[in-house]
Structure 1
Amino acid sequence: MRVLFTSTRGAGHFYPLVPLIDACAARGDDVLVVAPSALEPVLAARKQPYRIGGEPPREAMDAIRARAMSLAPDDGVSVMVAEGFGRLCTAAMLPVVEEVCRDWRPDLVLHETFEFSSVVAAERHGIPHARVAVSAGGFTAQADPLVGPVLDAYGSGIAERLLASPYLTRLPVSMDPSPYDVTHRYHEEPRSAVLPDWWNGAKEPLVHLTLGSEAGALPTAAGLYRGLVEAVGALPVRVLLTTGRHLGPRDLGPQPPHVHVESWVPQEDVLRGASLVVCHGGSGTVYGALAAGVPLVCVPLFADQPANARLVTAAGAGAAVVPANAGGEEPTVLDPDDVRSLGTAVERVLAAPSFRERARALADEMRATPSAAELVGALYG
């Protein structure tokens, strides 16, 4: 079987596809990935063939992104989905994706939630398609009505058939009931290694601080990271801070001995021994922590992060601290009250067994779903 995978540019959009890509490759399927040039370093490091799709003009995307960041979270998401992912990214990616569908003739297209050019191309060439969740189902469904006018401009009924296609998600049903009739859940097989002993034999609880792969590009990123460290710095814990590709350890200056900074460490390796994750509430980080049974404290900044933070707190698997100026026209910062609130939340989640117990219960629920390989085999032979 030939399987085409497509993604927009964000690493958080691509990585949910990875377990399915690996499962198809392990079955002996022919796999091809199409994604924008921003993901080429990630694609080049993998074994699967890939094609680079088009990207919108940077000025146009920057303008949409700036507009979205200046709005309240829900309004900002609307702008990004309709104008960014919908109108601009679909038009930019479509020529390459349609060429692949015409000439390579995949038997199946699997695309991340917000990559829409593959749906247009698959519909034009009669190829089955399914979407792979990068966010919670409730969050995704809020943006679905915005996609209709964009996709139906390429052909009547395309948006309706997108919503009727299979929806593949890793989040557990108790936390994220799906609004889609055809929903399949799966989990990733855990893979991890032991972290280096960056703390010289110390045994205090390990707290992982991360703002994901993209927040480091914010003009306030260094201050955000320093605020996270300040919030937990006086606690009896070990800290591992990962900054992402936009910042490095030197950008944050000297740190106390119990705080170690790296640009990147495989998430699975950290979570194996972590007692708590303090993060922005990105879907990949939230999913990974819960799959490992690790509670969270979320500091949501933009996009689906506020929605994910609400899901975590409603599930009893962690707490949330919303920065005072989040969702305003200025880039998000942590003021002194935010830092104090964050420190209090970290202490509370570490001290109360119920948060870890709830996170472990969600991990058990997630492990009870089919693996990515089992799902691919059951759905597509």
Structure 2
Amino acid sequence: MARFLIVVLPVASHLNAPLAIGQALQAAGHEVAWCGPRSDLRPLIGPDATLYPTGKRYFRNGGDTGMASVRSLWEGHVLPVNRFIRDAADQAVAHYRPDVAVVDQYAMAGALAAHRHGVPWATFCVGTLELTPPARELPEFDEWVRSQLTRVWALTDLPVDETIDLRFSPYLVIGLTSTALTGTTPLPARCVLTGPALGHRPDAPAFAWDAWDPARRHVLVTVGTMAEHLARDFFQRILAATAPLADRVQVVLTASADVLPDPPAHVLVAPRVPVLELMPHLDAVVSHGGLGTVTEALAHGVPVVVAPIRHDHPMVARQVTDAGAGIEVSFGSATPAELTAALTAVLDEPGHRAQARRVGESFAAAGGAVAAARHLAALAGGHIDHCPTGTATLA
């Protein structure tokens, strides 16, 4: 059996997939240690799991879109957080000596630590921004991001190796989607698509099932964990859009009580919900376009109304609409009437649900967390000679 070190970012939305992969590795008999924020990880991995804490650095994104949002992501989060976790990641690799490091695509300090200590690493991609870059919408994206990678290399005294793109391991890249969404878009070398990694979530909150109306259809509305401060007006438009449907639709909306202090009777508001527990009972999801939420819905055959905000959200929205599994609307300007029309379409037109089920079937065939664990075990057991290794000290 092999030893794996999973390096995560201190961002709640980036934890579900590696948690599921870690569970699958342990179920197969492997040892798993973690490097990431203690406050987020310990409730998920339990008191006995090996944890190398990084501390936590918060990031609150603004309302930028396009390349402005990409620059904000890298300059405001990716680069600072990698400097923040670099020492902890290096110490974790040096002390634990894993057979394979499993690294969040943006936790490149983990990749550098593995590279520095001669340990093969695998990248897992929780989004699509880098995996299927927006060449049409943002033609300058790739060149600009590559210029930022030299700043990540500068976290050690290793010379920049232009043959290694730190976003994509030269050993194994795990994409949490399938070709039913990515289509024929070229993918990085040594990339496998496993579909979403879904597992047990020990921190899933309780849900007020006594308020659930089985006579109505159900819609989950969520903008993820990092955009609620941008969504007040969108939520108000959703309330107006669902008012004409209130006799047949019940809405579950994830938001803090101060955002929607007095919701109408057909809307249940909660700061968090047990998403995977709800999915089999839902008829539609309204999402900001985060890959995690969208693929969780499609894995259960639930069609999606996507209101993209920034980063990879527009690409995810386009992939969903190209697959016929949902409808895209404007987060900033869709009118209540337009939102009503989109919701009515995904609820009442059978084609969207049929295509959502087709995408979900492709996820099941790809294998999810179990397939990801199998690929990682193969990497741990194989002879790797195609990636240069070196030693360095931290800058």
Return the TM-score normalized by structure 1: 0.83
Structure 1 match to 2:132:
138
- Contact 2:33–2:51 (8 Å) recurs in 1: yes
- Contact 1:123–1:158 (8 Å) recurs in 2: no
- Contact 1:85–1:115 (8 Å) recurs in 2: no
Matches within 5 A, 1:286-325: 286-324=294-332
Task: Point out where structure 1 has 5 or more consecutive residues left out of the alignment.
Answer: 325-333
1:112 corresponds, among 65, 80, 104, to 104
SS at match of 1:126: coil
TM-aligned CA deviation for residue 49 of structure 1: 2.9
- Contact 2:127–2:312 (8 Å) recurs in 1: yes
Greater mean deviation of Cα atoms: 41-50 or 276-285: 41-50
- CA gap of 1:23–1:360, structure 2 versus 1, over 3 A, is same
- Contact 1:151–1:158 (8 Å) recurs in 2: no
TM-aligned CA deviation for residue 191 of structure 1: 6.7
Structure 2 match to 1:156:
159
Number of corresponding residues: 353
SS at match of 1:348: helix
% identity of equivalent residues: 24
- Contact 1:16–1:133 (8 Å) recurs in 2: no
- CA gap of 1:190–1:203, structure 2 versus 1, over 3 A, is farther
Give distance in 2, aligned partners of 1:209 and 1:198.
19
Structure 1 match to 2:237:
227
Q: Match for 1:348: what amino acid?
A: A
TM-aligned CA deviation for residue 130 of structure 1: 0.9
Structure 1 match to 2:369:
372
SS at match of 1:234: helix
Structure 1 match to 2:26:
25
- Contact 1:5–1:34 (8 Å) recurs in 2: yes
Matches within 5 A, 1:183-194: 183-187=191-195, 188=197
- CA gap of 1:251–1:305, structure 2 versus 1, over 3 A, is same
Deviation per CA, 1:157-194, whole angstroms, max 9, x where unpaired? 45633333311022111311452121112244677999
SS at match of 1:121: helix
Give distance in 1, aligned partners of 2:76 and 2:109.
12
Give distance in 2, aligned partners of 1:272 and 1:195.
14
SS at match of 2:24: helix
- CA gap of 1:275–1:200, structure 2 versus 1, over 3 A, is closer
Structure 1 match to 2:179:
173
SS at match of 2:289: coil
TM-aligned CA deviation for residue 52 of structure 1: 2.0
Give distance in 2, aligned partners of 1:190 and 1:27.
14
- Contact 1:32–1:50 (8 Å) recurs in 2: yes
Structure 2 match to 1:122:
114
Structure 1 match to 2:93:
101
TM-aligned CA deviation for residue 29 of structure 1: 2.4
SS at match of 2:342: helix
Structure 1 match to 2:392:
none
Deviation per CA, 1:192-223, whole angstroms, max 9, x where unpaired? 9997544464422111111112222x1x4444
TM-aligned CA deviation for residue 54 of structure 1: 4.7
Deviation per CA, 1:7-43, whole angstroms, max 9, x where unpaired? 2222222222111111122233222211246xx1343
Aligned residues: CA RMSD: 2.7
- Contact 1:147–1:159 (8 Å) recurs in 2: no
SS at match of 1:254: coil
Tell whether 2:281 aligns with 1:281.
no
- CA gap of 1:8–1:189, structure 2 versus 1, over 3 A, is closer
Structure 2 match to 1:329:
none
Give distance in 2, aligned partners of 1:297 and 1:275.
11
Higher relative contact order (CA 8 A, sep 6+): 2
Give distance in 1, aligned partners of 2:172 and 2:54.
24
Structure 2 match to 1:258:
266
Structure 1 match to 2:69:
76
Give distance in 1, aligned partners of 2:115 and 2:373.
21
SS at match of 2:127: coil
Segments of 4+ moved more than 6 angstroms: 190-195
- Contact 2:23–2:199 (8 Å) recurs in 1: no
Greater mean deviation of Cα atoms: 184-193 or 95-104: 184-193
Give distance in 2, aligned partners of 1:344 and 1:100.
51
SS at match of 1:214: coil
TM-aligned CA deviation for residue 348 of structure 1: 1.7
Structure 1 match to 2:353:
356
Give distance in 1, aligned partners of 2:376 and 2:7.
19
Give distance in 2, aligned partners of 1:298 and 1:360.
17
- Contact 1:24–1:31 (8 Å) recurs in 2: yes
